Amino acid sequence: MGEFKVHRVRFFDYMPSGIRTIAFNRQTERIAVARMDGSVEIFKLSDNLFQEKVIPGKEQRGIEALCWVGERLFSAGLSGEIMEFDLHSLRPKFIIDAYGGPIWTITANPAGTHLAVGCEDGTVKLFEVLEDRIQFERNLDRKKGRVMSLSWHPSGTRIAAGMMDMIRVFDVQTGHVLHRLLVDKAVGAPRNQECVVWSVVFLSDNTVISGDSSGRVKVWDTITGTLIKNHDVTKWDVLALSLSQDETSFVAGTSEGTVVQFQFLSSVLGQEDKEWVRTRTFKNHTHDVRSVAEVESAIISGGMDTQLVVRPLLEKHEVKSQASALRTVQFPHRRLVSCAKKAQLLLFQYPSHLDLWRLGESEGEAVPGHRLPVRRNPEKLLQLKTKGEEHVCCSAVSPCGGWLAYSTSSSLRLYKLHYENNNISITKVSKLPKVLRSAQQLCFSADSTHLFAASTRSSIHMVSLSPDNCKHKHTFKPKTGSTQPIHLLTVSEDGQWLATANSDCEIHIYSLSSLKSHCTVPVYRSGVSAMAIHPTTNNLVMTHADQQVFEFSIEQKQYTNWSRKVQREGLHRKWMERDTPITNVTFNPRNPTHIILHDMYMFCVIDQSLPLPDRQSQFYNQLTLKSLPEQERQMHCHAFKVCKLFQPLLCVDMLEDDSLVVVERSLLDITAQLPAPVKQKKFAT
Amino acid sequence: MAALFEGSTLCALSVAQNSTESGIQGIELHGDDDHVVVTNSSRSVTVYKVSDQKPLGNWTVKQGQSITCPAVYNSKTREYVVVTDNKVIRIWTDDDINIDKTFRATVSSNVWRVHSALDQEPVVLFHTGAVRLLDALLAEPQQNVEVILREEEIIRWSTLVTSGKQQWILYVTELKGEHFIHVQNVGDSRRAAYRVEGAGFAPLSFSATPRSGNLNILSLYPDGCVYVSMVPMRLPVVAERQVLALPRTLLLRLPLAEGEGALVSASAVPLDAAHVAVVGVPHPSAGAGKDYLCIWNTNFQTLQAGKEIAGKIYGQLWCYSGKLYVPHGKALSVIPFECQKSSLAAALGKLKQSGGCESTPPFPLPLWGAAVSEEVSASGMATRRNKMTRKSQGAPTISVDQLIEQIKTGSEEEVQKGVASFLSKSDLPGLQLAVGSLARALVSRSLAEPSFYPHKVLVQLVHTQCLCHSGCPELLTLALEKKDFALCQFCLQVFPDIPEAVTCACLKVLLSTPDSELEAVTLETDSVAFVEGLSAVTAQEEKQKDGEETQQNGFTMVTVTAPPEDGSGNTRHTHQRKPKLAMSLDITRPVGLYRAVLLNEILQTPYSDTFLLPHLKDLTAPQVILFLQYLQFLYVKYYHDINTQVPALRSPTMSQIIDWVCLLVDAHFTILVMAPEAKELLAGLHSFVRAQMKLFTDLGKIEGSLQALKKAKQSRDNSQYSIEVIELF
């Protein structure tokens, strides 16, 4: 097959932000995850946990709670404001101040007509949810002490509020307090230290369950106002609770990184009287579990260690399948690195700055498996800090390295780069066409003469670039009228075609010569995780979140024979079992039959000229092939050449001089940068 | 007695309901004792680690193909060999994952079995009766194979027997209800055919073992009879197609229950010369049912051990290295067993030992006194070989009792002669007992009769290594009393169980005996050479010192004046040197050569410090100081000569010396502190300990920099950027 020169890059200090809260929408099966930096990510649970949308964060936003009302997503935070997100344009729809100081929690009533927020000043405020906004209705009786957590009774007539040292149960109609349930401090805690009720859950049988900072999970009867059961779960805090839909089980997330499941069981088999029994403990986190959600057959948890974990409940899975495997999301499912193939530059996207690096050069030859001496070290050419508080949502560098563009949710900036010997100068292009207000995705044409910016309502603006004048040439709009955000853009090498993919799983192809919509690829049920147009054949190669790979001939407007063969013979089981999506597709200019794909743990060269692996054959066969003599390799090799030498991967791309560039980010380094977890006593320490 | 131990399940069998087949074609040894290759009758070969009951590898042939011969392991090339579809020989190694992609060769004729012995080339047996070595066959797979068997004669069973370098293929054929045994020497391809006696019954199982020039063939018949036939290893020269008669002798008649028919599926395997394991036969005392695995002693026709086997028995049984492999029900069980040679067999001379184990020391008998005092006579115990040696010596046979009587009255010379002739039969079982009682008799006579002291005889007895302190408690004390230090040394070396009190008594005697008295003693040369070597180093050191002051390892020397010489002094072996010159590194040996040798022996005896400590307190102050000086001398020598170690078979280790120093100081601390002559000694020891501690703290200090070096090496691997070349295939 051949040798590759690989630039192994480990200087991208990508650092994900900790997860603050998780909200699960049962109707649409989507998980909204808010991170510490104020960004919100939407994952589709039914689509292999694919990250569909990312709403970029903002300095000082500090989201504390998320809440779904139907398909609308609300958030509240320490700024004291309630915000609704526009999930189509990926930015806040409206922001209103609750005038109660920092907001700790927000929940919707089961009917979806009202929102209750808990404020620092001790008020519980009710807002009415209207068609396009929310309106303040009234306060419940104001009591001293901040409201940390809220939970509606399923009937919507009462609210339990977790406060400092106590839980209050309010009657929604009158606004009066029905019960005051005192929560005692942890044993041995100082007198002035309050006990924070981090989370409450109101059950339909009038039971309230609370998790507090003394490490206890308590079960209360709100009819009599008495404590029924007390579980000492941890020495630290119980931070989050989540109830299953059928109210037979709930999970509690703790500061120790454990998730504890409780179930409503009868203590004697066959008897009616049931009680809440602690059943299982899962430890998938190293740090605080800030939020948990119990869904149909799994527990979703996230916390300070930045990873989202979906832990399946094995008793609800009958067969061993992908759904019954533990899933973690560590890296975003989109590219944070863009690569200028001709100029050998890498652009790294951080939340509030961009780094431009030039790759090093090597000299001499080396045998496979060895390193080449580095003649010139990689060089950081530029660090570009963003203006304003908003975080970068997308960025791109042109293939020639002469242009650089980035966008936040409200502004788009374009820069021209000049290289003179070893100096680099950067000039901002000041007069941008009005339409380029912001972009969800950016892309330069292969000859660096045009910039494509995906804008709201699935439209793409095409701008021609020249050093002194940038002109808006055309705006493409999808025929289907979809308004979902575009998350992938790709232009063919010859500048003829543009392909876009949006969150509705639609892929539109536009002709750049006629400035018209060319065709739409048949919609596949799974999200598009990566795509690219082949430089010589103009075939569009697409990969989906469910690991399927398709090849679509743009000129013939149909799937290619190879793609049909793949569908007919089926992909290998090992390929389908991978749990991270393909995040980039690229091609080998030296050999047109090669497609290069990568996910987090491997990169793979698909040789379309070779037979596909059949069910019996060994999928990861590189080592076997290596051990075989030359003439026998032919018999055993198949189309998928998987290389796992480099991982975890953020980016793999092919440069114009046929060398590969791989960007690795060690998970250990990420963990090392996290704050220290709570101290736990181990043996002999 | 033989015993069957608790078994374990190696694997499950895939057996159809009411099937008479176990689903296992064969179990073969995999190079060492702990691995077996199990061939499934369907299509797979599995390697198991027996002690873990864990499969290590599994290979399956394609659907439509079948394995027709159990896989064997060729330990020479570390390959597995199997035959599929009668004609295709496949060879693969542990690294191969897919058997279909490995080496295969198709041969011209149907293969019956491939047999393999440890470190020998596998042998292929064809259905026609032809035999080939595997490598010769694979060199030309399509070669013609000759037809040896007559028409309609079919092979029922075959095995490979190995003895030394020679191999024989044995196979049993059936022709018109008659059974024939064919034997072929693999090396010189000599062959012979025998007709098995007793037509009518078809034997249920065969097994063959090499035994003293013959190949013993064991066969089990449905009527419960186990017959043995012997084929000479040197095959007779016979004409083509000539069939010899093979006589058989009844080895064992297994009791079959009344009313129960003949055995159907049973198997017998010989475990050793006297034991046979049988599976699928009823237990004589457990009533009906044939679900037993039994070990029978063929010498006495007694049942030694039995074990009920659950589930159906398929009449298959393998025995490898102390374990029986029995497929039954739905599992393959591994049952470890043990066949001890029963003492009755040994006593009655029924046991013929087959070489090898004669040189090992005899095993202990359970009844010590009784076994000797009873009517067990030396002649009774003698084996055929012993008779021959005795004949050549021409000496009359005497029993232990007779010898003891002789000891009681005879002169030293007579006794010596008697014992020497007795000991020449050193392969006697129960020698330990005999030697013990002889020594006891000798010692008791010596104690009673001061003029009688047979030094040579005692040394001889100790040299048998069959004697220990508890076997003859007075021996060492007697030797000390008689100042027989040579014997003392042997005893100290040989006895594993000297009580601490006796060790201390020895020490006391040694420390109080002047060196001049010890000079005449002849001691074991090796230990003497060791002490001399130490002294030679001292001399060398002295020479060097004259030239220039050399320091080793940057060690700062601590000045200690030479210890005062022992009263009598030793002019021959110690270098008399002026005390003021003496540095700690070239201190003179404070005791004489021979005393040092003996003290070294004491240092090496096993002891327990709790028991030794009270006895050590019996030593007097001068003795303690002398001993400490000697220990310090040794310690300094060892410490200094780390790179000029004197080679010796037996020398006290550093930790033994330190332990003794600690014990001695512990026991006599108050005396040592008070005694003025011990002051310098203690100061010397103290400064040595200090120097050692300093060295270790210094080492501790550089630990950080060493670790930094280690880290520096790692971090290079974690560089931020590198350009590498990879190859994809």
Q: Cβ separation of A11 and B726 shorter than 8 Å?
A: no
8 Å CB contact of A371 and B726: no
pLDDT given at position B381? 42
pLDDT band at B544; cut points 50, 70, 90: low
pLDDT bracket for residue B199 (50, 70, 90): low
- Is the separation of the CB atoms in B669 and B681 below 8 Å? no
Using CA atoms, how far apart are residues B693 and A264, in angstroms rounded to an integer? 65
Do B71 and B36 touch, CB atoms closer than 8 A? no
Q: CB–CB of A643 and B728 under 8 A?
A: yes
CB within 8 Å: B728 and A637: no
Q: Take residue A322 and report the two structure tokens written for it.
A: 């992908």
Residue of chain B minimizing CA distance to A663: B721
User: Do B452 and B408 meet the contact criterion of CB atoms below 8 Å apart?
Assistant: no
User: What confidence category does residue B94 fall into, taking pLDDT thresholds of 50, 70 and 90?
Assistant: confident
Min Cα–Cα distance to chain B from A623, Å = 9
Choice among A215-224, A572-581, B511-520 with the minimum mean pLDDT:
B511-520
Gap between the Cα atoms of B86 and B94, Å rounded: 23
Interface mutation target, options B718, B719, B723, B727, chain A, most CBs of A under 10 Å: B723
The pLDDT score that the predictor gives to residue A319 is: 74
Residue B628's contacts (CB-CB under 8 Å, 6 or more residues apart) are B661, B664, B665, B672, B678, B681, B685
- Residue holding tokens 């991270």? A580
- Contact criterion met (CB < 8 Å) for A641 and B729: yes
Give mean pLDDT, residues B514-518: 80
Are B723 and A369 an interchain contact pair (Cβ–Cβ within 8 Å)? no
- In sequence order, which residues have a C-beta less than 8 Å from that of residue A203 and are 6 or more positions away? A154, A209, A243, A247
Please list every residue in chain A whose beta carbon sits closer than 8 Å to the beta carbon of residue B104. none
- The nearest CA of chain B is from the CA of A338 a distance in Å of 18
Region at B553 (left for phi over 0; alpha for psi -120 to 50; beta for the rest): left
User: What's the rounded Cα separation, in Å, for the pair B421 and A480?
Assistant: 114
Smallest Cα distance from A373 to chain B, Å: 7
Provide the pLDDT for residue B218: 87
Backbone angles phi, psi at B307, to 5 degrees: -150, 130
Q: Which residue has the higher pLDDT, A620 or B15?
A: A620
Segment A649-662 shows an average pLDDT of 91
Strands (E), A564-656: 584-587, 594-598, 603-607, 640-643, 649-654
- Check whether B566 has a pLDDT greater than 50: no
Distance of alpha carbon B226 from alpha carbon B205, whole angstroms: 10
Compute the nearest-CA separation of B100 from chain A (Å). 11
Q: What is the pLDDT of residue A681?
A: 63
CA distance A368 to B720: 20
Encode pLDDT of A18-34 as tens digits.
999 999 999 999 999 99
Shortest distance between the Cα of A407 and any Cα of chain B, in A, equals 28
pLDDT digits (tens, 9 = 90+) for A345-368: 999 999 999 999 999 888 887 788
Q: Minimal Cα–Cα distance from A366 to chain B, Å?
A: 7
B724 vs A contacts (CB less than 8 Å): 5-6, 8, 366, 369-372
Degrees to nearest 5, angle at CA B368 with B362 and B369 = 140
C-alpha A102: how far from its chain's center?
26
Residues 362-381 of A with CB under 8 A from B: 362, 366-372, 374, 377-378
Which residue of A lies nearest to B724 if distances are taken between CA atoms?
A371
* pLDDT for the residue B312: 80
pLDDT reported for residue B150: 83
Number of A:B CB contacts under 8 A?
A: 81
Nearest to A330, CA basis, from A7, A647, A676: A647
Using a CB–CB cutoff of 8 Å, tell me whether A669 touches chain B. no
Domain A19-245 fold is Methylamine Dehydrogenase; Chain H (2.130.10)
Q: How far apart are CA A118 and CA A100, in angstroms?
A: 8
pLDDT of residue B715: 54
Closest in A369, A377, A636 to B721, CB measured: A377
Q: Does A11 touch chain B (CB under 8 A)?
A: yes
Contacts of A637 in chain B (CB under 8 A): 729
The 8-class DSSP code of residue B340 comes to P
**Chain B residue with the nearest C-alpha to that of A11:** B720
Q: What are the chain B neighbours of A633 within 8 Å (beta carbons)? A: 729
pLDDT tens per residue, range B353-382:
443 333 333 333 333 444 444 433 444 443
- Picking from A11, A372, A625, the nearest residue to B720 by CB comes out as A11
CA dihedral B72, B73, B76, B79 (to 10 degrees): 110
Q: Is the pTM of this model over 0.95?
A: no
Give the CATH fold of the B21-148 domain: Methylamine Dehydrogenase; Chain H (2.130.10)
The pLDDT assigned to B303 comes to: 79
pLDDT at A156 over 60: yes
Rounded (5°) CA angle B197-B201-B203: 80
* pLDDT over threshold 50, residue B549: no
DSSP for A220-286, written as a single string: EETTTTEEEEEEE--SS-EEEEEE-TTSSEEEEEETTSEEEEEEEEESSTT-S-EEEEEEEEEE--S
Among all chains, which residue has been given the structure tokens 């300095």? A59
* pLDDT score recorded for residue B260: 64
Residues A171 and A574: their CA atoms lie apart, in Å, by 55
Nearest to A612 by CA among A574, A638, A575: A638
- Chain CA centroid to CA A529, Å: 12
To the nearest whole angstrom, how far is the Cα of A103 from the nearest Cα of chain B?
43
**In contact, A172 and A140? CB cutoff 8 Å:** yes
- As a whole number of Å, the CA-based R_g of chain B is 36
What mean pLDDT do residues A260-285 have?
87
Among chain B residues, CA nearest to A363: B723
Return the H-helix or E-strand segment holding B612: helix B609-616
What's the confidence (pLDDT) of residue A172?
A: 92
**Secondary structure (H, E, C), B152-198:** CCEEEEEEEEEECCEEEEEEEEEECCEEEEEEEECCCCCEEEEEECC
Map residue B609 onto helix, strand or coil: helix
pLDDT at A649: 92
CB atoms within 10 A of CB B539: 11
- The whole-angstrom separation of Cα A217 and Cα B623 is 75
- Shortest Cα distance, chain A CAs vs residue B494, angstroms: 46
Question: Which residues, in sequence order, are CB contacts of A278 under 8 Å at separation 6+?
Answer: A217, A231, A233, A260, A261, A262
Which residues in chain B are closer than 8 Å to A4, comparing Cβ atoms? Answer: 725-728
User: Among residues of chain A, what percentage have pLDDT more than 70?
Assistant: 99
User: pLDDT tens, B617-639?
Assistant: 888 888 999 998 898 888 888 77
How far apart, in whole angstroms, are the C-alpha atoms of residue A512 and residue A518? 9
**Spatial contact of A247 and A204, defined as CB atoms under 8 Å apart:** yes
**A9 to chain B: closest CA residue:** B721
Q: How far is A441 from A437, CA to CA, in rounded Å?
A: 12
**B535 is written with which tokens?**
């002294």
> Quick check: B725 and A626 CB within 8 A?
no
Contact between chains at B723 and A374 (C-beta distance less than 8 A): yes
Task: Give the strand pairing for A2-9 and A660-664.
Answer: parallel
Q: Which residues of B touch A (CB under 8 A)?
A: 95, 97-98, 101, 718-729
- Closest C-alpha among B530, B544, B498, B488 to residue B650: B530
Q: Distance (Å) from the C-alpha of residue A359 to the closest C-alpha of chain B?
A: 9
**Per-residue tokens: A685:** 């320490």
Of A370, A374, A377, the CB nearest to B725: A370
Q: A605 — contact with chain B (CB < 8 Å)?
A: yes
Does the N-terminal peptide bond of residue B236 adopt cis geometry, omega within 30 degrees of 0? no
Query: According to the model, what pLDDT value does residue A394 have?
Result: 92
User: Predicted confidence band at B1 (pLDDT cuts at 50, 70, 90)?
Assistant: low
| Measured distance CA(A219)–CA(A165) in Å, rounded | 15
Closest chain B residue by Cα to residue A1: B729
| SS3 at position B452 | coil
Whether B724 and A626 lie within 8 Å, measured CB to CB: no
Least Cα distance to A304 among A674, A684, A612 occurs for A674
Q: Do A3 and B101 touch (CB under 8 A)?
A: no
Q: What is the secondary structure of B79-126 as a DSSP string?
A: EEEEEETTTEEEEE-TT-S-GGGSEEEE-SS-EEEEE--TTS--EEEE
Question: How close B28 comes to chain A (CA, Å)?
Answer: 28
pLDDT of residue B538: 58
Whole-Å CA distances, A240 to A30, A198, B164: 19, 7, 75
Give the integer Cα–Cα distance in Å for A476 and A439.
14
Question: Which residue of B lies nearest to A664 if distances are taken between CA atoms?
Answer: B720
| CB contact at 8 A, A427 and A415 | yes
* CA of A652 vs chain B CAs: smallest distance (Å): 14
In the sheet that holds A147-152, the strands lie side by side as A147-152, A158-163, A166-171, A177-182
Residue carrying structure tokens 């067993």: B337
Residue ranges of domains in chain B: 1-19+265-346, 21-148, 150-260, 556-703
Q: Which two tokens stand for residue B281?
A: 């036969």
Sign of the CA dihedral A228, A233, A239, A244? negative
pLDDT at position B266 over 60: yes
Residues of B in contact with A9 (CB under 8 A): 720-721
Q: Annotate A599-628 with b (16+ C-beta within 10 A) or e (fewer).
A: bbebbbbbbbeeebbeeeebebbbebbeeb
The amino acid occupying position A202 is F
Confidence of residue B647 (pLDDT cuts 50, 70, 90): low
Which residue in the set B721, B725, B728 is minimally distant from A360, CB to CB? B721
CA distance A530 to chain B (A): 23
Binary contact (A641, B728; C-beta < 8 A): yes
CB-CB neighbors (< 8 A) of B727 in chain A: 1-4, 368-369, 626
Q: What is the mean pLDDT of residues A501-521?
A: 91
Question: Homologous superfamily of A337-673 in CATH?
Answer: YVTN repeat-like/Quinoprotein amine dehydrogenase (2.130.10.10)
Give the residue on A whose Cα is nearest the Cα of B717.
A371
Nearest-angstrom CA–CA distance, B173 and A227: 86
Distance from CA of A682 to the nearest CA of B (A): 26
Residue that wins the pLDDT comparison between B98 and A531: A531
- ipTM of this model? 0.82
Among candidate residues A92, A21, A18, A87, the one with its CA nearest the CA of residue A54: A87
**What is the per-residue pLDDT for B76?**
82
Partners of residue B95 in chain A, C-beta under 8 Å: 627
Chain A residues touching B718 at Cβ < 8 A: 10
The overall average pLDDT reported for chain B is: 76
> Is the CB of A362 less than 8 angstroms away from the CB of B723?
yes
Using CA atoms, how far apart are residues B605 and A364, in angstroms rounded to an integer? 67
Nearest-CA residue of chain B relative to A361?
B723
A19-245 and A337-673: identical CATH topology: yes
What pLDDT digit, counting tens, does each position of B18-74 carry? 677 777 888 888 877 788 888 887 778 888 888 888 888 888 888 888 888 888 888
HSE-up of A410 (CA within 13 Å, CB side)? Answer: 10
Domains of chain A by residue range: 19-245, 246-323, 337-673
List, in order, residues 6 or more apart from A547 with CB less than 8 Å away: A48, A571, A575, A576, A578, A581, A582
With bands split at pLDDT 50, 70 and 90, how would you rate the model's confidence at B580?
very low
